Structure 1
């Protein structure tokens, strides 16, 4: 076992459909999170939205997991919201036809939302397997794109567990994942809103912002013998980010808590998730960030994390 890697644990009595093969990794909502009132409120809101949208189609959804997996409801929803015509069968009775139908539907969603493959939080397999987490991410994305005025419950997050079958058995990794953004009104704009406005209205200033943050970062990580030249790529594995947080906060991170030399995306996500938790626990981060966005080199997410540190420690060491 590598230093700092999550412990290999025995996971017994998995349902038959969760018979994970070697090298496969799946993510689930922890049972305790399923009872979160915020999650219940989000599901009720989405169900009411779907039923209201499709009331003239005589479609009634009672369960997001049980009623959306075959693609029928998603098909009608997209046609209604986007005035689209999808070349799929109205009724797909076999799993093969359901898979084909879902493939067309999700490709249409990805195209409408202009999402890259690395940004997707759902898949045909996950929806077919009635995966609630993937279904929620998909519906929230559709709602935010086609009906942004819909008042979804803000700041809904769940505890997740990722399970991967390796040659040494099943390995688990815990994380916190946000499903909806923080839309609660605040007296002052959040840091995320500041960056959103900057990129939207003054993209020409982005390079200047990067230069300021880069100078700030190197001033502090330089004491560790490190040098950052590319903000877009060098924070993707979370290592320099964690070392920077420790340097600024004045504490040493135990090497057993993170991967010093991450060799996979899951190890990178573990590192970034730890950094996000540290920033939120210390009150430096006021807006949810998906660690996968940083790993996928999303410049907005990376800059936001650095800006949170810069806002608090920009005068440190002067």
Structure 2
């Protein structure tokens, strides 16, 4: 790590002390005028203004117009149908913070990010007009609520990772990815019919694979949130077939009778929430029963026109990431815009 003397000269001591012991990311000033970043900001501003046109809300600056929660509150209502009982205009800093806490809690739930450690934004960052956090939040909202909107591809910025301690300010430089190379997170996977899209995916760089996996996980958790279930480990949680069957039922609008498959609770709290039980026996089912569940799920996929003849159910039971991704991607591709 290296000293970052400019920060000593440009900040009030009280401001520096306010985040002592924290690690913060700041976009390098030279990247603030990057044409790709400017275009991304312009597209997001246009998206917000067109979305909130009927409410006569006009955004001119992402840095200055998002921090108090007013715009996010209206976007949440317009895009997700969630109307929170909060004051329309919060004047004081404390009121704005309280408002943002409620809004971001609801937004994160809709984005499938109930675990705040998975987010690149926070109440404090948004309220402090942190451009990087604001961009990450708005891009995630576009991907979730309006996936057909084309964002400028391959937007990256250099950031300085700052750490304040008693000896001063230390810094490291790294590249932060705001949008991936393709125009949408996963559509590029189908650019070639000669090879399975997931096989293409697994040949990409690790960060690109993770981006697609996160998009699919967001999609899954958005659909499963009404059942009180959340997926955090793609390979493990689909291996018994239970969540896969419930997901198919949610997406296709039919109910899979509990008599048709064997329930292996993800954990007591989650399954109690879904089935209304006071006590659930948490025990691993034999591999045979897991295989029956997964086989039933693949049969259902075949029935709804998603061929799975080349997929071995045992691979999903064995937590094979490639096979699990193939099934989830097929569902994602069919239902992502619905």
The normalised TM-score by structure 2 is 0.54
Pairs aligned (count): 203
2:42 is the alignment partner of 1:47: no
1:181, distance to aligned residue in structure 2 (A): 1.9
1:104-119 correspondence runs (5 A):
104-115=102-113, 116-119=115-118
* In 2, Cα distance between equivalents of 1:100 and 1:65: 19
Partner of residue 13 from structure 1, selected from 9, 13, 16: 9
What is the alpha-carbon root mean square deviation over aligned residues? 3.0
* In 2, Cα distance between equivalents of 1:49 and 1:9: 36
CA contact under 8 A between 1:8 and 1:168: conserved in structure 2? no
Q: Does the residue aligned with 1:181 lie in a helix, a strand or coil?
A: coil
Partner of residue 91 from structure 1, selected from 81, 89, 92: 89
Say if 1:168 and 1:96 are closer, same or farther in 2 by CA, change over 3 A.
same
Structure 2 residues not aligned, in runs of 5+: 218-233, 240-319, 322-338
What is residue 268 of structure 1 aligned with on the other side? none
Pick the structure with greater CA Rg.
2
* In 2, Cα distance between equivalents of 1:192 and 1:136: 27
1:22, distance to aligned residue in structure 2 (A): 3.0
1:193, distance to aligned residue in structure 2 (A): 8.6
Say if 1:169 and 1:15 are closer, same or farther in 2 by CA, change over 3 A.
closer
What is residue 304 of structure 2 aligned with on the other side? none
CA contact under 8 A between 2:70 and 2:88: conserved in structure 1? yes
* In 1, Cα distance between equivalents of 2:103 and 2:92: 16
* In 1, Cα distance between equivalents of 2:235 and 2:20: 45
What is residue 24 of structure 2 aligned with on the other side? 26
- CA distances 1:169-189 after superposition (whole Å, capped 9, x unpaired): 110011000011222447555
* In 2, Cα distance between equivalents of 1:18 and 1:180: 31
1:15, distance to aligned residue in structure 2 (A): 3.4
Say if 1:47 and 1:192 are closer, same or farther in 2 by CA, change over 3 A.
farther
Structure 1 residues not aligned, in runs of 5+: 1-5, 208-298, 301-318
- CA distances 1:250-298 after superposition (whole Å, capped 9, x unpaired): xxxxxxxxxxxxxxxxxxxxxxxxxxxxxxxxxxxxxxxxxxxxxxxxx
Q: Does the residue aligned with 2:60 lie in a helix, a strand or coil?
A: coil
Partner of residue 191 from structure 1, selected from 189, 201, 217: 201
> Which stretch shifts more, 118-127 or 187-196?
187-196
* In 2, Cα distance between equivalents of 1:77 and 1:203: 33
CA contact under 8 A between 2:41 and 2:62: conserved in structure 1? yes
Q: Does the residue aligned with 1:163 lie in a helix, a strand or coil?
A: strand
Say if 1:150 and 1:67 are closer, same or farther in 2 by CA, change over 3 A.
same
* In 2, Cα distance between equivalents of 1:22 and 1:127: 18
CA contact under 8 A between 2:68 and 2:96: conserved in structure 1? yes
Q: Does the residue aligned with 2:10 lie in a helix, a strand or coil?
A: coil
* In 2, Cα distance between equivalents of 1:91 and 1:111: 23
What is residue 296 of structure 2 aligned with on the other side? none
CA contact under 8 A between 2:8 and 2:169: conserved in structure 1? no
Q: Does the residue aligned with 2:142 lie in a helix, a strand or coil?
A: helix
Say if 1:56 and 1:172 are closer, same or farther in 2 by CA, change over 3 A.
same
What is residue 166 of structure 1 aligned with on the other side? 165
Runs of 4 or more above 3 Å deviation: 15-18, 184-190, 192-197
* In 1, Cα distance between equivalents of 2:82 and 2:202: 33
- Of structures 1 and 2, the one with the larger relative CO (CA 8 A, separation 6+) is 1
* In 2, Cα distance between equivalents of 1:101 and 1:85: 12
* In 2, Cα distance between equivalents of 1:22 and 1:135: 22
Say if 1:59 and 1:183 are closer, same or farther in 2 by CA, change over 3 A.
same
Q: Does the residue aligned with 1:12 lie in a helix, a strand or coil?
A: helix
The normalised TM-score by structure 1 is 0.58
2:144 is the alignment partner of 1:145: yes
